[in-house]
């Protein structure tokens, strides 16, 4: 198979992942309402991805209020939605080729904050084309969110998407930066503005339900060894949730694997002043004169 054929097959799979993801995102968002279960919606969305021919690229993120990323329900989680600002961040892969998207569902009565991240994303997409620098995209995002009277979250960025890799260069900043990277036709990137009524930075919390393979290794503990076999076979280098593991006492197995630096965790990221965060994200393929949005129906 030639490189041209390989590229065509890759992009077809990127597009297929995006089409599945756009449908699941919209259907999942429609299910978010006061009283609904976090765990039921996450598991429904992950299974719906499989029904449509894809696989989850990472656990469904359900971030509430000041949470910005990496929050997913734990095993037997009984949390339900209240009058919250809800960010759904969902990923799909087809044979390791990824799409990534996010949407805010506002149950908190702060529609302008949700609108700010959405408007920033649309303005960023209008800016994208081959040759544009990532710093220019960040400037447009920052200017748009500022126009709504809010702040961008400056220590979170968009990112490239690789084969079996959720985060690759280039980073797409959510503010103006001088040292940008020039986008090229064919780049597959996720642009994801975060807006907040706080100061614009997130910090790591103590909760951790998402993990990914860090390095190869061996363990003597049976449960940890079983978990590692499942991780390397099913998830490879992509993030996974504690609740996805088919072993007894998965938390103990994960702790052993982390202690040996075989896995790393993703702590929940929270706005450091405890203020609300909204998010909107699409995956795109950069073209000579614009971009193709793979996660838009």
- Cα–chain-centroid distance for residue 8? 25
99 and 18 Cβ atoms separated by less than 8 Å? yes
Angle of CA points 194, 199, 205, to nearest 5°: 75
- 3-204+272-293: which CATH architecture? Alpha-Beta Complex (3.90)
Q: For a pLDDT cut of 70, what percent of the chain falls above it? A: 98
Which pLDDT belongs to residue 273? 95
Considering only CA atoms, which of 223, 163, 155 is closest in space to residue 11?
163
Domain ranges of the chain: 3-204+272-293, 208-268
- The predicted-structure confidence for 231-249, as pLDDT tens digits, reads as follows 999 999 999 999 999 998 9
CATH top class, domain 208-268: mainly alpha
Residue with tokens 């097959």: 9
159 carries a ligand binding annotation: yes
**Does 192 belong to an annotated binding site?**
yes
The yes-or-no verdict on residue 4 having pLDDT over 70 is: no
Q: Which residue has the tokens 């980073």?
A: 171
Average pLDDT, the chain: 95
3-class secondary-structure state, position 5 = helix
Q: Is 70 annotated among the ligand-binding residues?
A: yes
Instruction: Answer whether residue 152 shows pLDDT above 90.
Output: yes
Asked whether the predicted pLDDT for residue 2 surpasses 50, the reply is no
* Strand 202-213 with 165-172, pairing: unpaired
Catalytic residues, by residue number, are 89, 100, 159, 167, 192, 281
Q: Binding site annotation covers 264? A: no
Question: Tell me, what's the pLDDT at 218?
Answer: 87
- Residue identified by tokens 């197995």 is 253
- At 6 the pLDDT is 52
């Amino acid at each position: 198979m030639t490189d041209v054929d390989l590229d065509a097959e890759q992009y077809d799979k990127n597009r297929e992942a995006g089409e599945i993801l756009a449908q699941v995102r919209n259907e999942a968002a429609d299910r978010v309402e006061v009283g609904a279960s976090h765990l039921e919606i996450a598991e429904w969305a992950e299974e719906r991805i499989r029904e449509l021919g894809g696989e989850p690229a990472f656990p469904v993120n359900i971030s509430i209020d000041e949470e910005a990323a990496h929050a997913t329900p734990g095993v037997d989680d009984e949390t339900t939605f209240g009058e919250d600002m809800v960010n759904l961040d969902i990923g799909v892969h087809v044979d390791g080729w990824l799409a990534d998207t996010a949407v805010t569902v506002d149950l908190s009565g702060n529609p302008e904050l949700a609108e700010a991240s959405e408007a920033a994303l649309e303005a960023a997409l209008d800016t994208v084309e081959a040759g544009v620098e990532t710093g220019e995209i960040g400037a447009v995002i920052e200017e748009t969110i500022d126009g709504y009277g809010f702040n961008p979250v400056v220590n979170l960025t968009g990112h490239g998407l690789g084969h079996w890799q959720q985060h690759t260069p280039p980073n797409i900043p959510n503010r103006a930066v001088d040292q940008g990277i020039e986008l090229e036709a064919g780049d597959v990137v996720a642009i994801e503005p975060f807006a907040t009524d706080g100061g614009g930075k997130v910090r790591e919390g103590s909760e951790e339900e998402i993990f990914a393979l860090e390095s190869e290794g061996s363990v003597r503990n049976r449960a940890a060894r079983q978990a590692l076999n499942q991780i390397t076979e099913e998830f490879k280098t992509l993030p996974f949730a504690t609740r996805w593991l088919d072993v007894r006492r998965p938390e103990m197995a994960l702790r052993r694997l982390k202690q040996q630096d075989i896995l790393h965790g993703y702590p929940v990221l929270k706005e450091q002043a405890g203020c609300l965060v909204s998010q909107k994200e699409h995956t795109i393929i950069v073209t000579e004169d614009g971009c193709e949005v793979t996660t838009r129906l």
